[in-house]
Amino acid sequence: MTVQFNHTIVAAKDKVRSAQFLAELLGLPEPQPLGHFQVVKLDGGASLDYAEPGVDFPSQHYAFLVSNDVFDALITKIRDRGIQHWADPRGQRPGEINTNDGGRGVYFQDPSGHYMEAITVPYGGW
């Protein structure tokens, strides 16, 4: 038996805005409505299903392993749009990217306050 990640629900203040923000920055297909969700499809069949819970919620962290081409396009969009970003999870290196494990990485927030991370090499370099 195998186990694969399939989907998770992402709480959003505005599900359409948050889903479109991420999909556009990462070059993913346009989000699609499914019931009361706004669905962002990821490679490999997994999805992020954005929902508006109608209550306050804590910020979460979502990390994406991306190709160098996607990272290049992402960091260009982030910088061109003046989106605050950091090289580290504590925000102590603003406006920078990291080169951990021989790759590149960046942290930024989505419109709902979630912390997004894009890396080109998994932690540990595997």
Question: Residues 68-86: pLDDT tens digits?
Answer: 999 999 999 999 999 999 9
Classify residue 24: in a domain, yes or no: yes
Residue 125, pLDDT above cutoff 80: no
Assess if residue 1 is contained within a domain: no
The CATH number of residue 82's host domain is: 3.10.180.10
Domain assignment of residue 49, yes or no? yes
SS (H, E, C) the chain: CCCCCCEEEEECCCHHHHHHHHHHHHCCCCCEEECCEEEEECHHHCEEEEECCCCCCCCCEEEEECCHHHHHHHHHHHHHCCCCEECCCCCCCECCCECHHHCCEEEEECCCCCEEEEECCCCCCC
Q: How many CA atoms lie within 13 A of 49 on its CB side?
A: 11
Structural domain contains residue 124: no
> Is residue 35 included in any domain, yes or no?
yes
Task: Note whether residue 38 is domain-resident.
Answer: yes
Which residue segment(s) compose the domain that 104 sits in?
Answer: 7-119
- Domain contains 125: no
Quote the number of domains for the chain: 1
Q: Given this model, what pLDDT does residue 23 score?
A: 98
Q: Classify residue 43: in a domain, yes or no.
A: yes
Per-residue pLDDT, averaged over 46-56, amounts to 97
| Model pTM score | 0.94
